[in-house]
Amino acid sequence: MRRLRNLKIVATLGPASDDYEMIRTLFEAGADVFRLNMSHGTHDEIAARHKIIRRIEQDTGRPIAILVDLQGPKLRCGVFASGAVDLEDGARFRFDLSDVPGDARRVQLPHREIFEALEPGATLLVNDGKLRLRVLDCGPDFADCEIVVGGTISNRKGVNVPDVVLPVAALSEKDRADLAFALDLGVDWIALSFVQRPEDVIQAREIVGDRAAILSKIEKPAALKAFDEILDVSDGIMVARGDLGVEMPVQSVPPIQKHLVRKCRQSAKPVIVATQMLESMIESPIPTRAEVSDVATAIYEGADAVMLSAESAAGQYPEEAVATMDNVAIEVESDPTYRAIIESTRKADRSTVADGIVAAAREIAETTDIKAICCFTESGTTALKTSRERPRVPILALTPSTETGRRLCLSWGINCYFNEKVDRFKMAVVSAARAAREGGYGEGEDQIIVIAGLPFNIPGSTNILRVAPCEERLIYNVEPE
């Protein structure tokens, strides 16, 4: 099951991918991480999918990461007496707290916190940005607006407020219940929606602790302003381009994507590029050329992973969608231009011994005939730093921690292997050589690089590097009988 590319693929599960056969098919087609979306599906359905993934993991002997995506607060308008009304450009419209059914002049917006944050001149977007209104006057229970871009508004359509930081917690009551459920299941990653500030992540961390890694979804302008602080307290980032494209001019999303990916690479934290990557494959077995180019762009930028949403969850061709991403990644990564771009954008703070060790490993691998870099890692830090270097050879992460092995499945180029704890470096080298042989990375006198920390099993202690052969008898320097 060795992948022929470094990029990781995240596939969302849903009605189209709900049984053992299909989920295993997606894994074999190239899915490295499975996303369980708490916006859709009951706890029983989510638990059943989780159980299937763990069964596939056991059957294949390969770690698989499970990411649970929390819904986040949903801001929606109320209902209309006629079910829907048409709003004309230039007309006036009011949002208020009254639960009386709306009409062409007003409707309920049952979120007092929005009114508390609004100021004249602020923008309100309705129905994924299809309608745009500008606030003329507002108070603690109303907002009088001018319709800038009109259209049809109907019951309970979503409302976005891009201009202000809303006094809304990233975790709703539903999210808290879903989070407790997901942690009890034993998932590997929690994707946190509606992140506006680092405090939102810190609040979630107080609940999650070390039971899962936290992935902050960047989907609001406020998160971009505080991105460095959010990145510092997060374990990973998702560039949620769909919501960003609603709340910001669509032409600003590509440069934002590029900027965020580079920031994450420099911090050695995984980044997923998500939303509408192969959307036409919901109904077609073949993607558009523009979609293929979009996926390729994320790969050229050095993203750790790309994500399928409805394509694999509810589409007619989930296997084909995963296989398409797999093929695009293989093709891009074989392009000399890809390697040139990756190496020209490599920028890392090498202020520690561990930073120097992994940089040296990458440089040795690029100047000699090295088959793989093998990292012994307890917390995953050594493997993540190695991944940040984007080496030309495969990365093997050997860890005694099941949780660490699964979480690393999201990171660029890392192939995870579970290994018993070792207390001597020579045994670590032997274990690394065995993993390299069993994985098909090398054999006999083929050389690998082994990096680890002494003393063993202490996170963050990477301080040793050795070049070693793949054959155990050569490691021990004895002739065969």
**Active-site annotation holds for 275:** yes
- 89-145 pLDDT per residue, tens: 999 999 999 999 999 999 999 999 999 999 999 999 999 899 999 999 999 999 999
- 142-194 pLDDT per residue, tens: 999 999 999 999 999 999 999 888 988 889 999 999 999 999 999 999 999 99
Residue with the larger pLDDT of the pair 421 and 148 = 148
**Active-site annotation holds for 263:** no
- 370-399 pLDDT per residue, tens: 999 999 998 999 999 999 999 999 999 999
Band the pLDDT of 421: cuts 50, 70, 90.
confident
Residue 1 pLDDT greater than 80, yes or no: no
DSSP 184-235: HHT-SEEEEPS--SHHHHHHHHHHHTTSSEEEEEE-SHHHHHTHHHHHHH-S
* Domains of the chain by residue range: 8-72+170-335, 84-160, 353-475
Lowest mean pLDDT among 56-60, 259-263, 304-308, 457-461: 457-461
- What is the CATH code of the structural domain delimited by 353-475? 3.40.1380.20
What does pTM read for this prediction?
0.93
Residue in 12, 123, 275, 381 annotated catalytic: 275
Residue 480 pLDDT greater than 60, yes or no: no
Sign of the CA dihedral with 147 first, then 148, 154, and 157 last? negative
**Active-site annotation holds for 404:** no
**Active-site annotation holds for 421:** no
Band the pLDDT of 477: cuts 50, 70, 90.
low
Residue in 76, 134, 211, 392 annotated catalytic: 76
Name the nearest CA neighbour of 325 among 302, 305, 300, 301. Answer: 305
pLDDT at 434: 93
- What is the CATH code of the structural domain delimited by 8-72+170-335? 3.20.20.60
Residue in 217, 220, 258, 388 annotated catalytic: 217
Band the pLDDT of 348: cuts 50, 70, 90.
low
Q: Strand 414-418: give its sheet, edge to edge.
A: 414-418, 395-399, 370-376, 447-453, 462-469
- 213-263 pLDDT per residue, tens: 999 999 999 999 999 999 999 999 999 998 899 999 999 999 999 999 999
> In CATH, which superfamily holds the domain spanning 84-160?
PK beta-barrel domain-like (2.40.33.10)
